[in-house]
Structure formats: C-alpha cells, structure tokens
Amino acid sequence: QVHVVESGGGSVQAGGSLRLSCTASRYSYSSYCMGWFRQAPGKEREGVAGFNSDDSTSYTDSVKGRFTISKDNAKNTLYLQMNSLKPEDTAMYYCAAIETRGFPCHEWNGGRWYVDFGTWGQGTQVTVSS
C-alpha cells in the first residue's frame, strides 16, 4: 500500500510563507502522480494544485500567483511553496498520490482523478492569522 506523508505546515501571519512537502512511498522503484488539496473547517475539500499530463501545472483560482507546486521525481516528493498567505488559506492541507505503474498522470481537472483513486496522507495544518 502507498504511504503518503505531508509536512511543513504551521502558523504564520498574513503575508508570510510556508513550504509544504509530501513524500509517497511503497516500493523503491515506484513512481507517483501527486497533487495538493485543502479542507477548511465547515467547507468541502478543494483541489489546490496539481500537474497535467504534459507536466504543466494547474491551480485553483484563489491561489494563482501566490502558490507554486513543484516535484522531485527521484525522491517521489511533491512541494507546495505558499507565499503571500491570507487568513482564508487556513486549512488542513492534504496530498494525494497514485502509483503510476507506467501510465501518464491524468489532467488535473481540480484533482478529480485523485479523489477517486488516490491514497491520502494525514494532512498538515496551515493557520494564517490576520
């Protein structure tokens, strides 16, 4: 079974920055498609950022220009650099991973593929105070 672990959350003031990391592991030779999600109290889970099949990136509108997703395939690690944080970014941030087994990652499309088939981590809390 795929094991997914997020880290890097914390409490910051508005305007601050955080960098989240997510590592997926199962076998040493495995590779993964991965994406970032968040869920604020009382709200539905939201796809934040992910990669498309051509390795281009997609973001939800509210984080465009402030968040940057990146990855290190050799380490099976996904990152989310979050700058200019706002109180409305406060949420539990989750990473989802799907073992590729030779097939390309699906288009991001808000992360629907991951919602249906992904393995999820425990999440890392991000709190932004005004």
The mean pLDDT of 113-130, rounded to a whole number, is 96
Query: How do residues 71-111 score in pLDDT, each as one tens digit?
Result: 998 999 999 999 999 999 999 999 999 998 778 899 999 99
Q: Is the pLDDT of residue 29 over 80?
A: no
Say what the pLDDT of residue 1 is: 84
pLDDT of residue 30: 82
∠ CA 93-101-118, rounded to 5°:
25
DSSP one-letter string for 22-48: EEEESSTT--EEEEEEEE-TTS--EEE
User: How do residues 38-60 score in pLDDT, each as one tens digit?
Assistant: 999 999 999 999 999 999 999 99
